Amino acid sequence: MKIMVAIKRVVDYAVKIRVKPDKTGVETQNVKMSMNPFCEIALEEALRIKESGLASEVVAVSMGTAQCVDTLRTGLAMGADRGIHVEATGALYPLSVAKLLKALVEVEKPGLLILGKQAIDDDCNQTGQMVAGLLGWPQGTFASKVVLDKENQVATVDREVDGGLETLSLDLPAVITTDLRLNQPRYATLPNIMKAKSKAIKKFTPQELNVEIKSDLEVVQVTEPPKRKAGVVVSSVDDLLDKLKNEAHVI
Ligand code: AMP
């Protein structure tokens, strides 16, 4: 079985986000970019499944500007067998990404498609659900544990929900999106970084996949959150209780 993993290039999680002066989005020029953390978890899970003998190949795919190839190289250095880059220069919203993924699934025919539960740049949390809908495949979102039964072609997925753990049984092929506690992604070692340079990355354009990139959605404005007001030091517990009661009105 082949596993396809969608990995997105985003502003590194440790970077302090700056809004562009014209408020059209966040600054990405001269900013450290990395693989979306939930996508690292998705790739790690695919690699573990392959290492346990339940999959034969892991294909990492990424959509966006030419620099996505760097992110794919990181994925290849972690252990993915090959990469696919769909080059698109404009804004890519989840429905467009889901359509591109569906087209790639039709080309590659994986038994499992794994995505992060959300990209930390736009926090959409939509792509996995949309591509499962477009493909008509079962979906296990926010997975905190994945167990594959190759013989019966079933994936058992634990999901952390408000009231506890929900366990789903999905017939393969299926879509899984990963939550934070699923695993701890590995670091790429130097020899694997070197090896990754010779692994194949195939290129597609959206036109070649018969996908029109358009959106019914327009970002009107991006603004910084309001600045937090300075706190005050209270002199006693009585003072604190008085402020909570009479100023903050929370007790
Ligand atoms: P989102 O729905 O935008 O929060 O993204 C959820 C997941 O969809 C990400 O963690 C990725 O696995 C996948 N994804 C979204 N955008 C892209 C992209 N441009 N390239 C590759 N994967 C993507």
Least confident of 8-17, 76-85, 206-215, 225-234: 225-234
Ligand 1: nearest atom to the Cα of 124? 4
What average pLDDT does this structure show over 113-134?
A: 96
Q: Which fold has domain 2-223?
A: Rossmann fold (3.40.50)
64 Cα–ligand 1 center, Å: 11
Query: What confidence category does residue 241 fall into, taking pLDDT thresholds of 50, 70 and 90?
Result: very high
Which of the pair, 84 or 226, is modelled with greater confidence? 84
- Please give the pLDDT value at position 13: 95
What average pLDDT does this structure show over 27-36?
A: 94
Give ligand 1 pocket residues (Cβ under 6 A): 6-8, 36, 38-39, 42, 62-64, 92, 94, 97, 115-116, 118-119, 122, 124-128
How much is the mean pLDDT over the chain?
Answer: 95
- Please give the pLDDT value at position 128: 98
Ligand 1: nearest atom to the Cα of 64? 19
What sign does the CA torsion over 72, 175, 214, 23 have? negative
What average pLDDT does this structure show over 205-212?
A: 96
CA neighbor of 115 nearest in space, from 43, 33, 9: 43
119 Cα–ligand 1 center, Å: 6
Ligand 1: nearest atom to the Cα of 118? 4
Ligand 1 mutation pick, 36, 58, 72, 120, max ligand atoms within 8 A of CB: 36
154 Cα–ligand 1 center, Å: 24
Question: Which residue type, as a one-letter code, is found at position 221?
Answer: Q
- Please give the pLDDT value at position 91: 86
What is the rounded (10 degree) CA torsion for 72, 99, 44, 30?
A: 40
Least confident of 91-95, 99-103, 110-114, 129-133: 91-95
39 Cα–ligand 1 center, Å: 8
- Please give the pLDDT value at position 229: 86
Report the alpha-carbon distance of residue 196 to residue 106 in Å, rounded: 26
Ligand 1 mutation pick, 97, 100, 101, 180, max ligand atoms within 8 A of CB: 97
242 Cα–ligand 1 center, Å: 48
Ligand 1: nearest atom to the Cα of 42? 12
Report the alpha-carbon distance of residue 104 to residue 107 in Å, rounded: 5
148 pairs with which residues across the strands? 155
33 Cα–ligand 1 center, Å: 15
- Please give the pLDDT value at position 209: 97
Q: DSSP readout, 91-141? A: ---HHHHHHHHHHHHHHH--SEEEEES--TTT----HHHHHHHHHT--EEE
Q: What is the pTM of this model?
A: 0.92
Write down the domain spans for the chain: 2-223
Residue 214 has pLDDT above 90, yes or no: no
